[in-house]
Chain A
């Protein structure tokens, strides 16, 4: 393997990994605070894809404005989903499986609804950033580099909110003990909804960044959901930082697996790695502090 190839594999791994990290950290945030595994997370991505298609392509808005509008809408949707389908189930004794079942149902419902409304075709979104960056011998379209940089920025912002603001302290307190948080006057129910909205924003960001590369379709979120889950487990369930690190790790593993096996096996390698980790370290690779 030449040095150029090696650098290319690293860059590709980091770019794929940044999407996994975005999706996974959103799932981890929700799991960390509410112990809810949201199977409809991928559909939030899909809806964000259609949002950016509507605003940026059909209506022709500037990219930044379209992205902001899409993220706001997806945050609202995430909050509504939490309020309407998840919050009522949490009062039940066997809520853990009920929530999984309900969000699986919701996920397939949204997917088929999107298929009926927008059809089965894969719709392209033009690149937001044109041109190709040349670093030494490596040529990389700016769009792909932007994915990495924007993802890093958004996750950094999220970490800043979580660990350096009052809202973040409230979220982490709820994550540690929802009842105790309630006792000191934190409205845990509202915090759960807020966390869902933030998680939706992360999924939406991922989908917007991806949409020019993978095209928008009813199934665009489904394939990332399982990767997101894998990232959450690898990172130690519920750990935000762990999920980010695991996302990049999974991206790099997939990228480097291509050097040894053909591309259609790279997902098999990724999931086998997941099962091997579960076997050896059930608590995850980066288990540490929660939320």
Chain B
């Protein structure tokens, strides 16, 4: 538990929330707010994926499918039926969770890592192809546009508007989702549930022999993870306002998110957040050299797998332990 969450997870989250809170009031330039908004959305996406990949230990490679399902579900329901995005994002999370259960069932019977990886990857490809082929309702690769942004909110005199071009409001929505999702997951995972997930990851057979119902817990983890990813996809859709199957469910999405999780730290609760921040910011800095982005991500994945398999989050405890050890020896002297 300590390795996954660090010593004071609620304090870390509180610090993050306090750092995020004043940002919309800082009168920052819209572009910086845009980059930060993307970071927050991808951080939630990465955290959701890390739930199965790192914390449950099921090596799934197809979570960009749930991102796409969440994004398209929310976009299409709000576009075609005129339902407010404030409602459809929850519907999207629910649909993503159901999709997670759907693919969770065939995976349950498999214990071999390669099977799980390939089946989830094939599932993501099916989802991408379905959205690309249902041209009558999704317009395929031409892009689904006309997605309504979140409805404006009136607080006293000021109206807060959302969507691309309204940077402060969009940032606020992403930040609230970010803090809310991480707080909810911490509350869930710090208890029996998190212990069960880690027990399944570290010793599946032992957990089963102690009466842990593997199938039910795995499906539960899958549904939660898919719901979180679906929610981030829905918020993404109502922010960027245009979707194409390749942009949300293509290989670049898979690589970007995998890089964020690996660089941040697979199986560390806060790891994917650091990874998302680092990679979103660097990829924006490299925007002028567009072609180098995937080259950098590929190289980063290789370097981190070799040099720091526990990611950025895994680097810190080692330093702090060394510090405490030296402090102890100093005290002893």
Interfacial residues, chain A to chain B (CB-CB below 8 A): 31, 37, 85, 88-89, 92, 94, 96-98, 100-102, 104-113, 115-116, 222, 226, 229-230, 232-233, 237, 264-265, 267-268, 271-272, 274-275, 278-279, 282
Hey, which chain A residues are within 8 Å of B213, CB to CB? Answer: none
Q: Do A271 and B122 form a contact, CB below 8 Å, given A92-B309, A100-B117, A112-B291?
A: yes
- Are A109 and B298 interface neighbours, CB within 8 A? yes
Q: Are A271 and B126 in contact (CB under 8 A)?
A: yes
Contact B298 A106 (CB under 8 A): yes
Return chain B residues, CB-CB under 8 Å to A265: 129, 133
Known A100-B59, A116-B295, A274-B119; contact A105-B301, beta-carbon cutoff 8 A: yes
**Interface majority SS on A: helix, strand, loop or mixed?**
helix
When C-beta atoms are compared, the residue in chain A nearest to B113 turns out to be A96
Residue B10 CB within 8 A of the other chain: no
Residue from A94, A101, A109 within 8 A of B295 (CB atoms) = A109
Which residues on A sit within 8 Å (CB–CB) of B204?
Answer: none
Q: Are B302 and A282 in contact (CB under 8 A)?
A: no
User: B125 interface residue, CB < 8 Å from A?
Assistant: yes
Residues of A within 8 A of B61 (CB): 100
Q: In whole angstroms, how far apart are the Cα atoms of A115 and B294 in the complex? A: 10
Q: Could you tell me if A237 and B114 are in contact, using CB atoms closer than 8 angstroms?
A: yes
Is A272 in contact with B126, judged by CB distance below 8 angstroms? yes
Q: Which of A104, A109, A110, A267 contacts B125 (CB 8 A)?
A: A267
Identify the stretch in B104-112, B157-165, B177-185, B324-332 within 8 Å (CB) of chain A at 4 or more residues: B104-112
Main DSSP-derived SS at the B contact region = helix
Complex CA distance for A274 and B294, rounded to whole angstroms: 29
Let me know if A275 and B121 touch, CB within 8 A: no
Tell me the B264-321 residues at the A interface (CB within 8 Å): 266, 291-295, 297-302, 305-306, 309
Q: B305 to A102, Cβ gap below 8 A?
A: yes
B residues near A85, Cβ cutoff 8 Å? 302
A101-B262 in contact (CB<8A): yes
Name the distance in Å between A287's Cβ and chain B's nearest Cβ. Answer: 12
Give the CA-CA distance A94 to B57 in the complex, in Å: 11
**Nearest CB on A from B264, distance (A):** 13
**Interchain CB contact under 8 A, B292 and A112:** yes
Residues of A within 8 A of B119 (CB): 233, 274-275, 278
Shortest CB distance B224–A (Å): 21
Asked if B123 CB lies within 8 Å of chain A CBs, one says yes
Of B115, B123, B293, which is within 8 A of A271 by CB?
B123
Q: Please report the C-alpha to C-alpha distance between residue A264 and residue B140 in the assembled complex, in whole angstroms.
A: 12
A-B CB proximity, top 10 nearest:
A105-B301, A109-B298, A108-B298, A112-B295, A279-B106, A105-B302, A112-B294, A271-B122, A102-B305, A229-B118
